[in-house]
Structure 1
Amino acid sequence: MNLNAKLAILADAAKYDASCASSGGRARDSLDGRGVGSNDGTGICHSYAPDGRCISLLKILLTNWCQYDCLYCVNRASSNVQRARFTVDEVVHLTLDFYRRNCIEGLFLSSGIIRSADYTMEQVVEVARKLREEHDFRGYIHLKTIPEAAPELLARAGLYADRLSINIELPTIASLQSLAPEKDVGAIKRSMARLRVHIDDAKEAKREVEAKPLTFVPGATKRTPAPHFAAAGQSTQMIVGADATDDATILSTSAQLYGSYNLKRVYYSAFSPIPHAAPALPLKAPPLVREHRLYQADWLMRFYGFEAAEITPQKGMLDLDVDPKLAWALANPERFPVDVNRAPKEQLLRVPGLGVKAVDRVLQARRVRRLRTDDLKRLHVPVRKVLPFVELADHRPRAEATRRAVQPPARAEQGVLF
């Protein structure tokens, strides 16, 4: 099989991993002779660097052969899909070739399990080592690590990769045992804990190095460089809708992962029905808006001070018609209105329509004067969304007006979503 054929198979096989993908784009190509370029078929996706820059990554699997038979995975051992495998040198060649042509700024590499977890992890790490040490590659590298691999292999991976990720796959132990019996929850969590220790140790070592005075050498000023280990942290992914787990449990699991392992991101991937699916799997994919609501709720936990338990209602599922922040505000009318000119940052962050940057602008502006409605417009705040929930120098909402302004669609209309 030639390299282009392998690339077509293994780039397509990698598309199910959401941990670095930008979803929702419209497929485009120039096969009809019109236009230039393509946004599919080459395995190039978009991610974000630690400083917020959008970067393009070559996103591929080392191989889609796999010893595991996870029921939700299109590359499982019993799946009837075309198989392929890159050599280490082929991945290195592809990465450098795309990079020199300015098509990518980095590599996302994952793999099925071949021979053993240790053997597969050795191959993945060797790709990163060759890129860094033999070719002085300075682009972004994200490696999908294998939790069952030896600790020393995970430690080596962090020396070459900017980010490491271990997929927890499903939010509960029972679901994982049912749909992916070869997966070991204990091994996954132990590996996450090891990565956190390595990452924390590297950060502490960097702080100690930077705290030391500079060493002066004739003709130069230099400091011994601090060790690096996965400077962009670690992430994970959960599949949504492959089992009956509700949103409350998913968000609770995410909160535990953030707290225990200091993850940078938990990615949510809506289950997609696969060919020759097992009877235990649902026949239909969940509504994509459910995935979107989980990302919104995740954002509230990470940046807005919300706890997982207060985001989800008693029924355990997020409202598909209303974003989680607005749903929380409607369920807690006693918290409103919030006085924009006096409320602390923590309260302002809970006002629907006010984002983190908008709150920072409001806090700066109110040091100078008491804010009025026109001031919110100048601060680029979505006034229509915010006014029902806030007090200003010239505005105080009435309860009835608030209910009318934020009234969600009638429940009877939701049948069309399912």
Structure 2
Amino acid sequence: MNTIDKLAILADAAKYDASCASSGGKQRDSLGTGGVGSTGGMGICHSYTPDGRCVSLLKILLTNFCVYDCAYCVNRRSSNVPRARFSTDEVVRLTLDFYKRNYIEGLFLSSGIIRNADYTMEQLVEVARSLREDHAFGGYIHLKTIPEASPELLAAAGRHADRLSINVELPTENGLASLAPEKTTSSIRGAMGQLRWRIDESKEERAKTVQAPVFAPAGQSTQMIVGADGADDRSILDTSANLYGNYRLRRVYYSAFSPIPDASVALPLKAPPLVREHRLYQADWLMRFYGFEVDEIAPRAANAGMLDLDVDPKLAWALRNPERFPVDVNRAPKEMLLRVPGFGTKTVKRLLSSRRFARIRLDDLARLGVSLRKVLPFVQTLDHHPQGALDDPQRLRARLAPVPVQAGLF
């Protein structure tokens, strides 16, 4: 099989892994070193970093052969799909060729498990090592790491990659045992723990001397499949909160389950609505940047631990807690301003700065680009005092919920 045919199979097989954003990478440029690549610049862009840069990554599997038989995976051992495998030299050559043509700015490399975890991890590390040491590649590298691999291989991966990721696969231990019995939560969490202390150790050493080696400067991330098992949204967010707190993950990605050919009877016949994945990302954002707890976002009393699909999680919380509103934008602390539907972190920062010099009016909110339709029932300004806006939360919910798109309107 030639390289192009392999690329068609292994690039398509990699599409199910969502955890490939390149945010947080070390600023690095090979100009003047005789090498190629950098973590800045522009290409054919498919991802966005938090600072607004578009980035593109060559996203492939080393191979889609796998000794595991995870029920939800299209590349499982028993799956009847075309198989292919790159050599490490082929991946290195593809990465360099694509970069020189300005198609990509980095590499996201994952793999099925061939032979065993250590053998596969050795191949992944060799790709990164060759790019860095043999070709002075300065672009972004994200390696998918294998939990069962030896600590020495995990350490080697972090020396060459910007980001490492270990997928927890499913949000609960029972779900993993049911659908991926060859994998264990303990091995996944153990590997995450190793990466955390190595990252922390590297930061401490770098604080002492800038000559100290870096280890996975963009941190570690993970991915959970949503809708393959019976886990509710609260369980998913509980797992995410635990991962952020205990392992300092940079990001948890959520991937809606997609039905696969010749699927196990243990899997659902239909994919969950994509809006569920979207709501989980919004809820994740609230936990990370807005000070919300899981109990506030997905209380068991409301919708049996499931997020409201019709309105975003912050608006849903506000409608469940009308007694907390209206919020006086001229007096309220930052923590409460962040809970106002329609206020983002940048808006709150600007409000806090502006009100030091003048009292905030409606026109000021409009100038900040705030959606007044969404905000007005929840705030009080110098010239706006909502009367009874939250007396009937259900009526307000119906008014603020987005209108569903109907077929035939285009």
Query: Aligned pair in 2 of structure 1 residues 406, 20: CA closer, same or farther (>3 Å)?
Result: farther
Q: Is the alpha carbon distance of 1:368 and 1:356 closer, same or farther for their aligned partners in structure 2, counting shifts above 3 Å?
A: same
Instruction: Give the AA of the match of 1:175.
Output: G
The aligned counterpart of 1:337 is 326
- Alpha-carbon separation, structure 1, partners of 2:47 and 2:78: 31
Aligned to 1:168: 168
- Counterpart for residue 322 of structure 1: 311
How far apart are the structure 1 equivalents of 2:268 and 2:390? 43
Match of 2:362 in 1: 373
Task: Give the superposition deviation at 1:396.
Answer: 1.0
Instruction: Select which of 290, 302, 305 maps to 1:304.
Output: 290
Distance 1:50-1:388 versus aligned 2 partners, 3 A rule? closer
Cα distance, 1:402 vs. partner?
6.7
Q: Is the 8 A contact 1:322 1:408 kept in 2?
A: no
- 133-142 vs 392-401, which deviates more? 392-401
Q: Measure the CA separation in 1 of the matches of 2:63 and 2:294.
A: 37
State the TM-score, normalized to the length of structure 1: 0.88
Q: 1:247 aligns with which of 221, 233, 236?
A: 233
Q: Secondary structure at the match of 1:255?
A: helix
**Equivalent in the alignment of 1:407:** 397
1:276-329 C-alpha deviation (Å, 9 max, x unpaired): 000000000000000000000000000000001110132100000010000000
1:407 Cα deviation from its structure 2 partner: 2.3
Number of equivalences: 380
Percent sequence identity over aligned pairs: 72
| In 1: Cα distance, 2:208 partner to 2:64 partner | 43
Is the CA contact (8 Å cut-off) linking 1:21 and 1:45 kept in structure 2? Answer: no
Larger RCO (alpha carbons 8 Å, 6+ apart)? 2
1:185-220 residue CA offsets vs partner (Å, 9 max, x unmatched): 1110010001000111111111112xxxxxxxxxxx
- 2:252 match: 266
Letter in 2 for 1:408: A
Partner SS, residue 79 of structure 2: coil
Equivalent position of 1:347 in the other structure:
336
1:6-405 to 2 correspondence within 5 Å? 6-20=6-20, 46-49=46-49, 52-209=52-209, 225-313=211-299, 314=301, 315-400=304-389, 403=392
Gaps of at least 5 residues in structure 1 are: 23-43, 210-223
Structure 2 SS opposite 1:107: strand
Where 1:18 maps in the other structure, the secondary structure is coil
Structure 1 counterpart SS, 2:143: strand
Q: CA deviation at 1:394?
A: 0.7
Secondary structure of 1:249 counterpart:
helix
Report the alpha carbon displacement of residue 51 of structure 1 after superposing the two structures with TM: 5.0
Q: Offset of 1:401 from its aligned partner?
A: 6.4
TM-score by length of 2: 0.89
Q: Distance in 2 between matches of 1:358 and 1:231?
A: 29
Q: How far 1:176 sits from its partner (Å)?
A: 0.1
- Cα distance, 1:46 vs structure 2: 2.8
SS at match of 2:306: coil
Task: Work out the CA distance in 1 between the residues paired with 2:6 and 2:330.
Answer: 60
> Is the Cα–Cα contact under 8 Å of residues 46 and 54 in structure 1 kept in the other structure?
yes
Q: 2:221–2:249: 8 Å Cα contact kept in structure 1?
A: yes
Between the aligned partners of 1:127 and 1:45, the Cα distance in structure 2 is 23
The amino acid that maps onto 1:208 is K
Distance 1:122 1:50, change over 3 A: farther
SS of residue paired to 1:69: coil
2:90 and 2:50 mapped to 1: Cα distance?
Answer: 28
Name the amino acid aligned to 2:267: L
Q: Distance in 2 between matches of 1:49 and 1:374?
A: 32
8 Å contact kept, 2:21–2:48: no
The answer on whether the counterparts of 2:279 and 2:313 sit within 8 Å (CA) in structure 1 is yes
User: How big is each residue's C-alpha offset from its partner over 1:34-54, in whole Å with a ceiling of 9 and x where there is no partner?
Assistant: xxxxxxxxxx87334575522
Q: Is the 8 A contact 1:57 1:106 kept in 2?
A: yes
Structure 1 residues 49 and 136, CA gap change in structure 2 (3 angstroms):
farther
Residue by residue over 1:22-72, the C-alpha shift from the partner in whole angstroms, topping out at 9 and shown as x without a partner, is: 9xxxxxxxxxxxxxxxxxxxxx87334575522100000000000000000
RMSD: 2.1
On the 8 A contact 1:20/1:46 being kept in 2, the answer is no
Report deviation, 1:383.
Answer: 1.6
